[in-house]
C-alpha cells in the first residue's frame, strides 16, 4: 500500500509507516526530509501558489491502494489535489487531521474550510474510496501522559497505528463476524479505540448523524480458545448497538486491541465558522 504524506503533519505521520514492510512511503514537504520517495516543494506564500507552482514529477506508484494524509491547515494544503493526481489510478483513502481551533489563525481557518469541504465532496462523489476525519484536540484527550514535548509524537503514533490496524483488519479474514447492510455511499468516516471488556469506545472525531459502525476486535488465541464466557459477553455488548456489526480476529500476542469505524454519507459541518 502507498502511504502519502503532505506537509509537516502528514509527513510526520506517514514516516511512522516506514517500520512496516507492506508500505511504500511518499513524502511531499517544504522542508528537507530523508527517503527515496521524498519530493521537496518550494515554500510558497499562499494556498493558490502551492497548486500553481507544483513541480513536475513523474513516478509509478508501487501499489494499487493509497492512503493520503494531511492536515487541513497550512498553505501547503493547496498542493493536495496536485499530489492526489499522481495517485489517481489507485484506490485512495484520504485522512484529514484537523488542528485545534485555538491554534488556527484566520488565514489557516479559511484554508481549512476549503480543503475540509472539497475533499469531503470528492469522497462523497466516489472519487476516493472514503475519507477519515481525525481531530487533534479530541484524540489528544484520549491519550494518557501527554506533555507539551511528547504530544505531537504520541498523536502521530496513535494515528499511524490505528490506520495500520484498519488496513490489517480489512485484509484479514476474521474468526467470527456479524452481518450488516453496508451502505457503499457512506464514505465519510471517523475511527476510535474500542475496549470490549467494558464496552467502551473513544472516538477521534465526532461525526454528525453517523449511519453505521463496525467494531474490530483482535484477541489472543489462547483467550479465544479457553474463555467460555467471551461469546456471551461480546454478544451482550452489541444487543443495543443499532446499525452496528463486529468482527473478531485472533492474534498471537498477550494483549487485545480494538478499533471502531463509524460511517456516514452526511457532509460534516464547517468548523471554525
pLDDT tens per residue, range 67-115: 999 999 889 999 999 999 999 999 999 999 998 875 666 667 788 888 9
pLDDT tens profile 116-166 = 999 999 999 999 999 999 999 999 999 999 999 999 999 999 999 999 999
Query: Does 161 share its domain with 203?
Result: no
- Kindly state whether residue 271 falls inside one of the protein's structural domains: no
pLDDT tens profile 236-248 = 999 989 999 999 9
- Kindly state whether residue 127 falls inside one of the protein's structural domains: yes
At residue 64, does pLDDT exceed 50? yes
Say how far apart CA 117 and CA 124 lie, in whole Å: 11
Q: For residue 58, name the pLDDT band (cuts at 50, 70, 90).
A: confident
Query: Does 222 share its domain with 143?
Result: no
Query: Does 78 share its domain with 117?
Result: yes
**CATH number of residue 26's parent domain:** 3.40.50.1440
- Kindly state whether residue 77 falls inside one of the protein's structural domains: yes
Closest by Cα among 103, 102, 106, 114 to 78:
114
- Kindly state whether residue 270 falls inside one of the protein's structural domains: no
pLDDT at 59: 83
Q: Which of 100, 134, 169 is the last residue of a domain?
A: 169
Query: Does 77 share its domain with 23?
Result: yes
At residue 230, does pLDDT exceed 60? yes
pLDDT at 49: 96
At residue 32, does pLDDT exceed 50? yes
Say how far apart CA 11 and CA 15 lie, in whole Å: 6
pLDDT at 96: 97
pLDDT at 104: 62
Domain assignment of residue 12, given as a range: 2-169
pTM to 2 decimal places: 0.95
User: Do the beta carbons of residue 204 and residue 134 sit within 8 Å?
Assistant: yes
Query: Does 103 share its domain with 48?
Result: yes
Query: Does 126 share its domain with 43?
Result: yes
pLDDT at 272: 44
Query: Does 203 share its domain with 130?
Result: no
Say how far apart CA 134 and CA 117 lie, in whole Å: 14
Say how far apart CA 247 and CA 195 lie, in whole Å: 13
Query: Does 214 share its domain with 130?
Result: no
Q: Which residues contact 132 (CB under 8 A, 6 or more apart)?
A: 93, 94, 95, 96, 163, 189, 190, 191
Q: Which of 169, 204, 220 is the last residue of a domain?
A: 169
Q: For residue 225, name the pLDDT band (cuts at 50, 70, 90).
A: very high
Query: Does 145 share its domain with 204?
Result: no
Query: Does 78 share its domain with 206?
Result: no
Query: Does 154 share its domain with 218?
Result: no
Cross-strand partners of 137: none
Count: domains in the chain: 2
pLDDT at 197: 97
Query: Does 72 share its domain with 205?
Result: no
User: Do the beta carbons of residue 139 and residue 155 sit within 8 Å?
Assistant: yes
Cross-strand partners of 192: 203, 260
- Kindly state whether residue 111 falls inside one of the protein's structural domains: yes
- Kindly state whether residue 137 falls inside one of the protein's structural domains: yes
pLDDT tens profile 169-201 = 999 999 999 987 778 899 999 999 999 999 999
Q: What is the mean pLDDT of the chain?
A: 94
- Kindly state whether residue 243 falls inside one of the protein's structural domains: yes
- Kindly state whether residue 48 falls inside one of the protein's structural domains: yes
At residue 47, does pLDDT exceed 60? yes
pLDDT at 273: 42
Q: For residue 8, name the pLDDT band (cuts at 50, 70, 90).
A: very high
Amino acid at each position: 500500500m502507498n502511504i502519502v504524506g503532505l506537509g509537516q503533519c502528514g509527513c510526520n505521520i506517514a514516516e511512522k509507516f516506514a517500520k512496516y514492510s507492506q508500505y511504500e512511503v511518499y513524502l511531499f514537504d517544504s522542508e528537507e526530509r530523508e527517503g527515496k520517495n521524498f519530493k521537496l516543494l518550494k515554500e510558497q506564500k499562499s494556498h493558490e501558489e502551492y497548486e500553481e507552482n507544483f513541480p513536475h514529477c513523474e513516478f509509478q506508484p508501487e501499489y494499487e491502494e493509497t492512503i493520503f494524509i494531511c492536515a487541513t491547515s497550512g498553505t501547503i494544503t493547496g498542493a493536495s489535489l496536485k499530489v492526489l493526481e499522481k495517485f489517481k489510478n489507485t484506490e485512495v483513502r484520504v485522512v484529514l487531521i484537523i488542528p485545534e481551533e485555538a491554534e488556527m489563525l484566520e488565514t489557516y481557518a479559511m484554508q481549512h474550510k476549503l480543503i475540509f469541504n472539497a475533499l469531503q465532496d470528492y469522497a462523497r462523489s466516489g472519487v476516493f474510496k472514503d475519507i477519515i476525519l481525525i481531530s487533534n484536540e479530541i484524540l489528544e484527550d484520549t491519550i494518557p501522559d501527554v506533555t507539551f514535548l511528547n504530544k505531537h509524537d504520541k498523536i502521530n503514533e496513535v494515528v499511524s497505528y490505528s490506520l495500520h490496524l484498519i488496513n490489517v483488519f480489512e485484509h484479514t479474514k476474521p474468526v467470527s463476524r456479524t452481518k450488516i447492510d453496508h451502505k457503499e455511499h457512506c464514505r465519510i468516516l471517523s475511527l476510535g479505540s474500542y475496549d470490549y471488556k467494558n464496552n467502551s469506545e473513544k472516538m477521534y472525531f465526532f461525526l454528525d448523524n453517523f449511519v453505521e459502525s463496525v467494531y474490530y476486535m483482535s484477541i489472543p488465541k489462547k483467550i479465544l480458545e479457553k474463555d467460555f464466557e467471551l461469546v456471551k459477553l461480546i454478544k451482550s455488548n452489541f444487543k443495543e448497538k443499532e446499525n452496528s456489526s463486529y468482527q473478531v480476529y485472533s492474534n498471537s500476542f498477550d494483549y487485545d486491541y480494538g478499533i471502531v469505524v463509524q460511517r456516514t454519507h452526511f457532509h460534516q459541518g464547517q468548523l471554525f465558522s
